[in-house]
Amino acid sequence: MSSSASRPALGLDERLGYVQCRFCATILLVSVPCSGLLKMVAVQCGCCAGVLSVSVASPPPPPPPPSLRL
């Protein structure tokens, strides 16, 4: 999943992301509870009814910036 965001201000402990259907190329908005972020979930496309298996694991954190030595 890409382009995710949390919405704790609304009382919703979930992550939103976009997934592209592999069958018809439709872009799907997917909402997954944060309690399920280390799992695979099934997503059904509303356009072609294709079922996708999507890993919703959080992406690894970016590497730290290199230290500058003078």
Q: Map out the domains of the chain as residue ranges.
A: 2-55
- Look at residues 22, 31, 15 and name the one whose alpha carbon lies nearest to residue 53: 22
Within 10 Å of residue 30's Cβ, how many Cβ atoms? Answer: 17
For the chain (70 residues), the mean pLDDT of every run of 10, in chain order, is 50 79 92 75 92 76 66
What's the pLDDT at 2?
53
What's the pLDDT at 7?
47
For tokens 């919405």, the residue is: 7
Q: Which DSSP letter does residue 70 get?
A: -
